[in-house]
Amino acid sequence: MAQPHPPPADEAAPEEAPPPKLVVKGFGNVDFRDEFDGPRTLEFSLGQLDLFVTSALTDNLTFLAEIVFEPGDEEKVVDVERYQIQYSRSDLFNVALGRMHTMLGHWNHAYHHGTWFQTTAFRPEVYRFEDEGGVLPVHELGLRMFGSRAFGRNRMEYSVSLANGRGPVASTFENFRDFNRSKAFTAWLALTPAPLPGLKFGGVVRSDRIPPDPADPARAVSMTERIVGGFFTYQRRRTEVLGEVLALRHREEGGAGREFGTSGFYVQASHRFGRLTPYYRFEGLDRGADDPYYPSSADLRRHIAGLRADPWSSAAVKVELSRDAPDPGPSFSAATLQVAFTF
Amino acid sequence: MRHLCVAALAVTLLFPAVGRAGDVALIVNPKNPVADLTWAEVVAIFKAEQQHWKAGERIYLILQESGTPERALLLKRVYLMSDVELKHFWLAKLFRGEIAAFPRVVASNAAAKRIVAQAPNALAFIDAAAVDSTVKALRIDGLKAGEPGYALAVPSP
């Protein structure tokens, strides 16, 4: 939300407001990964280069954009991940219009492309991006109303949005059209109870109608999508515990009316000792068997243990060991060294 | 006696909320109708969870730069963070779209007062001893700087 245009500290107030300032920040990471068994890889890789810009156009109007450069993908090098204009009437009433991160729980809007923000090297599998085979609509294009209100020392936050629904293919995101007239509706609510400092919890419901895919005989009919999720975060100065669970259900319209359920979860804990933060995460993803909307139906259980070091205020080094147990498929372990930074 | 009363009145008008040196006073423009904040409101405002005055105007938050004793007290009492952690805190707020710009940072009590004196919606913190008639010091939970139990009192030696 905007800071009102200030008068200069050492001058008289100008007659006209100064032009909007553009704030530009960037985030990036470089990884080195070794998979000990199973696929057996040993490689360096570039993470996303995330350019984040925001500007207070007036006291109540702000613009925000996030442009991600994805090195190595020749067909799609630049992606506008966020592009939104926001009007703020009060703490309780704000409206944003454009492309945004879907409010699904905590991780998706708290970290998203900003790898440096997250304690771990990688995001949970349930929050994998759409174009990387993810199961959730982590972006949306539409209208969102959101805000917060204090009740005594407790605080409530809400977000409701109406957006273009998902397209016929899960891995694509359309910036210019919707494939049907029905819109995705998302309602998110979070509470921060004062008696338990650092704790926040909440939930989300989302409904959508996914159009058929003319190119895929298995997707000949539309399907409804329902997402229900819950999350909690416990964040104190040195300790962080996060947990989320999301359940997604697809139901074909007409015909046999088949139903497919997918669910994912993670729980993550870390504690900082000076500049070092050891962490652990357990996560899982159970894809609905034979859900025609997803190209894969592989399930996953994953343990991650790592150490994050923050030797500098703008860069972190993360060393992470993981053990993946896909189903079907052989289990494998991997080690990752990541340098994540902001500039 | 009459002269003493006049002198006392003049001092009260000219220096309406002078507190103990080292205590931190929250100051607003004299035109701002707000006179008292609860501690929960202070924390919410300085953490940008509350960004509007109750009348609806947006709060223009002014911080003092790193190294000042006033900022050190705010870090200890309000933010419960180190200086670096506070910078990360604002960056995360910016990234999540919760703020569109970082709070204005000034170098001194005098600079903070100058801005507050000009900006009707501004809120800043300064050494309570530096409060003068160009700004208005807020009470916190009904207490002025210098009064026992004031939330932003400098720790006793």
pTM: 0.88
* Token duo for residue A170: 């899960």
For chain A, the helix, strand and coil percentages under 3-state DSSP, each to the nearest 5: 5, 55, 40
* Token duo for residue A151: 């009740």
Number of residues that make up chain B: 157
Between residues A8 and B92, the one the model is more confident about: B92
Strands A78-88 and A42-46, sheet pairing: unpaired
Q: Residue B111: in which H helix or E strand, if any?
A: helix B109-118
Instruction: Say which amino acid occupies A259.
Output: E
Q: Which phi and psi angles does B109 have, rounded to 5°?
A: -60, -40
User: How far apart are the CA of B96 and the nearest CA of chain A, in angstroms?
Assistant: 6
pLDDT reported for residue A143: 98
Longest dimension (CA), chain A: 73
DSSP state of B75: I
Chain A environment of B94 (Cβ under 8 Å) = 23, 25, 52, 54
Q: What digits encode the pLDDT tens for the residues A132-187? A: 889 999 999 999 999 999 998 899 999 999 999 999 998 888 778 888 888 999 99
How far is the first Cα of chain B from the last one, in angstroms, to the nearest whole number?
A: 37
Between residues A275 and B22, the one the model is more confident about: A275
> Could B58 and A54 be called an inter-chain contact, meaning their C-beta atoms sit closer than 8 Å?
no
pLDDT reported for residue A304: 98
Q: Residue A322: in which H helix or E strand, if any?
A: strand A315-327
Residue A264 clears pLDDT 60, i.e. is over it: yes
From chain B residues 84-123, the ones with a CB under 8 A of any chain A CB are 84-85, 87-88, 91-92, 94-104, 106, 111, 114-115, 118-119, 121-122
* Token duo for residue B141: 């939970």
Nearest to A241 by CA among A277, A202, A276, A270: A270
Rounded mean pLDDT, A32-47:
83
Residue A14 clears pLDDT 50, i.e. is over it: no
Rounded mean pLDDT, A320-327:
95
Let me know the angle formed at the C-alpha of A168 by A164 and A173, rounded to the nearest 5 degrees: 50
- Residues A131 and A215: beta-carbon distance below 8 Å: no
Residues of A near B (CB-CB distance < 8 A)? 1-4, 6-7, 9-10, 12-13, 21, 23, 25, 52, 54-56, 59-60, 62-64, 82, 84, 86, 88-91, 96, 109-110, 114, 117, 148, 150, 152-153, 155, 194, 237, 313, 342
pLDDT reported for residue A16: 52
Rounded mean pLDDT, A56-70:
92
pLDDT reported for residue B105: 95
| Cis before A328? omega within 30 | yes
Among residues of chain A, what percentage have pLDDT more than 90?
Answer: 71
Rounded to whole angstroms, the Cα distance separating B29 from A327 reads 64
**Rounded to whole angstroms, what are the CA distances from B150 to A51, A198, B140?**
44, 24, 7
**Closest Cβ opposite residue A55 in set B50, B87, B100:** B100
Residue A66 clears pLDDT 80, i.e. is over it: yes
Q: What digits encode the pLDDT tens for the residues A71-94? A: 765 666 888 999 999 999 999 999
pLDDT reported for residue B20: 65
Mean pLDDT of all residues belonging to chain A: 90
Q: What digits encode the pLDDT tens for the residues A185-244? A: 999 999 999 999 999 999 999 999 999 998 888 888 999 999 999 999 999 999 999 999
**Alpha helices, DSSP H only, in chain A?**
107-110
The strand pairing partners of A186, in sequence order, are A161, A206
> Could A117 and B92 be called an inter-chain contact, meaning their C-beta atoms sit closer than 8 Å?
yes
Q: What digits encode the pLDDT tens for the residues B103-126? A: 999 999 999 999 999 999 999 999
Q: What digits encode the pLDDT tens for the residues B36-48? A: 999 999 999 999 9
Judging by beta carbons within 10 Å of its beta carbon (0-12, 13-18, 19+), is residue A215 exposed, middle or buried? exposed
The strand pairing partners of A101, in sequence order, are A139
Provide the pLDDT confidence category of residue A247 given band limits of 50, 70 and 90. very high
Rounded to whole angstroms, the Cα distance separating A339 from A116 reads 8
Q: Which phi and psi angles does B38 have, rounded to 5°?
A: -80, 160
pLDDT reported for residue A297: 79
Chain B environment of A315 (Cβ under 8 Å) = none
Residue B128 clears pLDDT 90, i.e. is over it: yes
Rounded to whole angstroms, the Cα distance separating B29 from B33 reads 9
Residue A296 clears pLDDT 90, i.e. is over it: no
pLDDT reported for residue A1: 46
pLDDT reported for residue A75: 63
* Token duo for residue A134: 């993810």
Residue A327 clears pLDDT 80, i.e. is over it: yes
Residue B30 clears pLDDT 90, i.e. is over it: yes
Q: Which of A1, A15, A27, A93 to mutate to test the interface with B (most CBs of B within 10 A)?
A: A1
**Closest Cβ opposite residue B50 in set A63, A96, A150:** A150
Rounded mean pLDDT, A292-301:
90
* Token duo for residue B13: 């008008």
Rounded mean pLDDT, A257-268:
95
Identify the three-state secondary structure at position B63.
Answer: strand
Rounded mean pLDDT, A303-310:
98
The strand pairing partners of A45, in sequence order, are A31
Rounded to whole angstroms, the Cα distance separating B117 from B123 reads 10
